[in-house]
Amino acid sequence: MKLASALLALALVAGVTADAQAYDRRVRIVNESSYDIYEFYASNTGTNSWEEDILGRNILPAGHSVVINIDDGSGYCRYDFLAVFEDGDEVVSGGNNVCELAVFTFTD
């Protein structure tokens, strides 16, 4: 009986993990500010460092948007965002649930 209970518990955990892995983590980042975004980062909430600049050599011009796949293979849904604007200003937004969030907008 203990083995059956353990297997059921393991199956339930595996099902939850599989469900978390199946979420669409693509988010449309919209720049409604007056400045271009030169860098954009998304890191798991709770980590102590930002990952690489997702935009790379590209920029996100004012008035434009881009769809970014935030999935890093970890299965996490909560991410912190950091945008660095052309004037040097930085905007941080924490705890964004990318498993449920379809659009995120930066404004002035």
Average pLDDT of the residues in 63-86: 94
Q: How far apart are the first and last CA of the chain?
A: 61
Higher pLDDT, 62 or 5: 62
Q: Is residue 99 part of a domain?
A: yes
CB contact at 8 A, 90 and 41:
no
Number of separate domains in the chain:
1
The domain that holds 58 is classified in CATH as 2.60.40.2890
Residue 25, Ramachandran bin (φ over 0: left; ψ between -120 and 50: alpha; else beta): alpha
Q: Is residue 9 part of a domain?
A: no
Q: Is residue 15 part of a domain?
A: no
- What are 23-59's pLDDT values in tens digits? 889 999 999 999 999 999 999 998 889 989 999 999 9
